[in-house]
Amino acid sequence: MAQHFKLLGTLEITDNGETAVLMKSPIGCALLTYLIITQQTYPREAMADLLWVENSTTSSLQSLRRLLNRIRPLSAGLHVTRTHIHYQPTADDLVDFYLLEAGLAATETTQLDHALQHYRGDLLAGFHLANAPYFNEWLLLTREQLRQRVHQGYVRLCRAYMEGRQWAVGVAAAQRWLALDDLNEEAWRALLQFLAASGQATTALQQYERCRQHLWAELGVEPESATAVLVEQIAQRETAVSRTPPPTYTAGTVPDPGPLPANAYLPYRRNADFVGRQACLRELGAALLANEHNSPPVVTITGLGGLGKSQLAVEFAYRYGRFFPGGVFWLNFDAADTVTAEISLIGGERGMRLFSDQDQLTLADQVKRVQRAWQEPISRLLIFDNCESETLLTSWLPVTGGCHMLLTSRRSHWARELNMTTIPLDTLTPAESVAYLQRVTPRLAANEAADIAREVGHLPLALHLAGGFLQRYPEISPAAYLFQLRDGGLFHHPSLQGWGSSHSPTGHDLNVARTFAFSLQQFAADSSEGQMAQQLLLCAACFASGEPVPKSLLLAAVRKDDSVLQLLLAEDALARVVALGFLKLEAGTTAVMHRLVSAYTLGMVADAGQRLVAQTAVVRTIEHALLEHQRQEGHLSTIPLSAVHLRHITDAAVAAQVPHVTQLAILLARHLQSIGSYTDAAFYLQQALDGAQDNASQVDALIALAGVQESLGHDEASLETAVQVITKLKQLPTTHPIQLAEALYRQGWAHFRLGQAEAALVAAQEGLRLSQSVQNVKETARHLNLLGVVNYYWLGRYETAVSQLQESLVLFQQLGHRVGELSTYNNMGEVARIQGDFVLAARYYERALVLSRAIHNRSREALNLSNWCGAQVRLGNYETAVSELETLIQTTSDWFGLSDAYRILAEAYIGQNQVAPALAAAQHALDLTQRNNPAETGRAWRAFGSVAAKMGQPIAISHDGSHQFMTAADCFRQAVTFFAGANLGRDHAIILWQWSDYLQERGQQAEGQAMRQQAHDLFQQSNLPLFVAKLEEKRPFAQTIFGTEQGQA
């Protein structure tokens, strides 16, 4: 049970926010407050004598025992033994007296100020216990002692603020001091000093007159001499200031806060906690002061409710008001029927002083006098707060004279004829948000303030409420507050409903939801435009907040058809939502929604049915846009909206089981695969499979999954998935030739990567026949590409492979299918590399690399770059290869080509004579090999052999959980085992060639020559005449053949 004790002022005791039962017992309250204030343990006899005047102590003790039996269950902090009584607050208890005591003992000024704010009246003000003279005498003495301590506290506080030149907070402190005792001249003098120091000398002199009259009326005395001397000094300074020339505005500057002109009317004090907005202030200054105007200028601060538009207008008035000698005047325009009264108010004695009450003018005459004065040439600033109506504005807008109009409005679009300058207001920056929160809640660390600011979206109203709540309830930790915001929903938390914050610097509603609701009421729900505007608002909330949304997608989501009428309605709806500040247009093509607006719309405006309708519309729109993009561009490496949106919408739609979300998840996975995020792609495909409600969706997801499994290097899993799809499709009562061709393509690639050449050839040939039978050019080109790879890599049919690849390239180019085109270029580079023409290979790889980068396909780019680096190493460009490969490896993960990339890097290091990093790279290459990939494993051992040969000594290698030292010959032998076992003739020949050179360098001529002849024979069998020629010319091996040696799907 959380028990709060308010002892300062009228006694209040609450249990969990409700008036405590204990309050029904005055003598129980007296006992408990005495124990709380004295903070000591007392014998029962002492308490009995304090509270009862009885004939005997025995009688008093009996009364005390009965009292304790009644109140003991009502306060957990009350501790009673057989002999003694004391009070020990629990962790949930809050006692304002203790907070004051701690602050009075503190040396830090802010803590002292906050503590004094708890003292809102005398200790237990008005409390008197009948028939308890000893208690009442103690209370009177303690009350007076505390009053004196508070007095000394205010003396310290005002002195500290004066020394620190903190005039504004000093004024507030002095006013609180005076509220406690308005006959205290020391408090009056503090107030006069702060006002004068802050540039409000006129106000200070007015306050002195009030002080003088009050002292005479209450006490019949004149102010003390010290007060009179101070006032004389202020008056002299004011006279000197009045003789100085008026201030002039300097363009591009933000003046310090200062006094308003003498006849100004502004109902709000400057907010001492105001932070940031420097650029906005400069822009306002330029718009209202820097330029010559043919007619009275009108500038409007626009934006969503809660952004601090009115607060910015107040700040502008205090900083720039000095440049308007005719005065600064604030009018509330939120209700048309009160504007005349507002205008009358500023014309009276508190403002322009155009008339007095004695003039007995009618309201209409008073307004006419003000409007006449507005036409005078003297410069005035009129602030129309909460002005939302064009009709209302034009009816009161001066058409001539020296007035400058500053409006605050949620409305962002106004008639062009008004010649208005609009200044959209945004949220605070992260740095400004942190500065504000730490100012209002000093106990917050910078990281805690940053987390809270991020959670409430840097919205000034939300920051004000969050800071006030944490300041009001210090027992709630920042971490606990954040958890509550996230766990219970932002708008359901008491802080955003105004708990803990009783003051608004501009008198606005301290409730974020009601602030948004006021704007939402502007929609006419019974009109077509209003209904579409609400639907557009819901659809916009389905996107990720704070991230730009293409305007075209928002319009498409709410249109029922492609008619011109629907387009016009959607455009008008968007304009309405933007005009009310719920969306912010950027560059005219994208819209951004604040996270609190998004949370409010989905949580407070829409019910479950409305959310589902909006999500379904958004899912259908995004799906259509992605499919159209894929049709036009041939890939999903780039997409027509932010990937943040795509993930957010997909995640939310999967959770809500929105229809058609399976296809969207598949499209997201294809995008993620293309940019190299294979693990994430697999995750979304599994989600698609879990939610698939028909065979077509399930087949699409499985085909895509097979491709992702291939990218991850999970070749056996890819093959299993492809076979599963083929089996499923062949069992269906209707034929699905395109999907079957796609599945055969995946099956063929899986067989290829597993070294199963004949099976790969069969799958590719079947897929080609099927694609050609239905005249599907894309699938025909893909299967020709696959056939070419199988023929050059496994079967040594280079002429056939080149012919198939060239035919595939022509088809891809006709389609404008750049992914297929770059894949074919890569594979043509592989043919050239295998045949030993590294110059030609590098050219093809570079073409593929340029294309992959042009379409931002990270997956293809990684493979093309790795292959290109392999060619560069073979051509002796080691430095270039090392630089590119190190960057590639650092920025790529979960990719099947990493083992080969490390192997190529190892050989490049060898070319630079860097054996230590070469050994480390070779170890990484071996660690990353797939157990079912003999080619990859053999090449990793070949890299180890190159390192050991370069070092001329055995090297340490970790393999299969053991560590051993191996010579170059040991490593070459391991490589031969894998190449020979997989019938990889070219790789086998290359390693024998390298090994033969190694043996001959060590004097083993006969063995080396025999091994060289074996390499020669294998090259001939593999139809590699270039390598045969090099051997017959008796060239040394010199460098190993590099490249990922993998084709590209």
Instruction: For residue range 455-467, list pLDDT tens digits in order.
Output: 888 888 878 777 7
> What does the pLDDT look like over 333-370, one tens digit per residue?
988 889 999 888 888 877 777 776 766 778 988 888 88
The set of residues, in sequence order, having a beta carbon less than 8 Å from that of 103 and lying 6+ positions away, is: 111, 112, 113, 114, 115, 116, 118, 153
Residues in Cβ contact with 333 at an 8 Å cutoff, skipping those fewer than 6 apart = 339, 342, 384, 385, 386, 387, 388, 389, 392, 393, 407
- More confident call, 982 vs 884: 884
Better-scored residue on pLDDT, 366 or 501: 366
- pLDDT-based confidence at residue 515 (cuts at 50, 70, 90): low
What is the band of 508 on the pLDDT scale with cuts at 50, 70, 90? low
Higher model confidence: residue 411 or residue 393? 393
Residues in the chain: 1049
Predicted local confidence at residue 291, as pLDDT: 66
- Nearest partner of 638 among 868, 891, 860, judged by Cα: 860
List residues bridging with 330 in a β-sheet: 383
Residue 1045 has pLDDT above 60, yes or no: no
What pLDDT was estimated at residue 967? 93
Sketch the domain layout of the chain as residue ranges: 3-144, 183-242, 278-424, 430-509, 827-1032
Name which CATH class applies to 827-1032. Answer: mainly alpha
d(CA 285, CA 704): 58
pLDDT-based confidence at residue 1044 (cuts at 50, 70, 90): very low
pLDDT tens for residues 732-746?
A: 888 889 999 999 999
Burial label, 760 (beta-carbon count in 10 A; 0-12, 13-18, 19+): buried
The full DSSP string for 478-528 is: HHHHHHHHHHH-GGGSGGGGTTT----TT---S-HHHHHHHHHTTS-TTSH
**Residue 517 reports pLDDT greater than 70:** no
| Collapsed DSSP state (helix, strand, coil) of residue 421 | strand
* Cα end-to-end span (Å), the chain: 68
Q: State the Cα–Cα distance between residues 325 and 375, nearest whole angstrom.
A: 15
| pLDDT attached to residue 57 | 80
Q: How far apart are CA 615 and CA 870, in angstroms?
A: 48
Nearest to 974 by CA among 995, 999, 953, 993: 995
pLDDT score for 694: 84
pTM: 0.59
Band the pLDDT of 489: cuts 50, 70, 90: low
Enter the tokens of residue 625: 């846009």
For 123-136, b/e burial (b = at least 16 CB within 10 A) is bbeebebeebeebe
Distance of CA 1011 to the CA centre of its chain: 64
Give kind and range of the element (H or E) at residue 384: strand 380-385
Q: How confident is the model at residue 502 (pLDDT cuts 50, 70, 90)?
A: low
Neighbours of 880 (CB within 10 A): 15
Position with higher pLDDT, 777 vs 399: 777
- Per-residue pLDDT reduced to its tens digit, 596-649: 778 777 776 667 888 899 999 999 999 999 999 988 888 888 899 999 999 999
Of 300, 283, 508, 516, whose CA–CA distance to 390 is shortest? 300
φ and ψ at residue 911, rounded to 5 degrees: -60, -25
pLDDT of residue 53: 81
What CATH class does 278-424 carry? alpha beta
For residues 200-220, average pLDDT? 81
Average pLDDT of the chain, as a whole number: 86
Strand partners, 585: 591
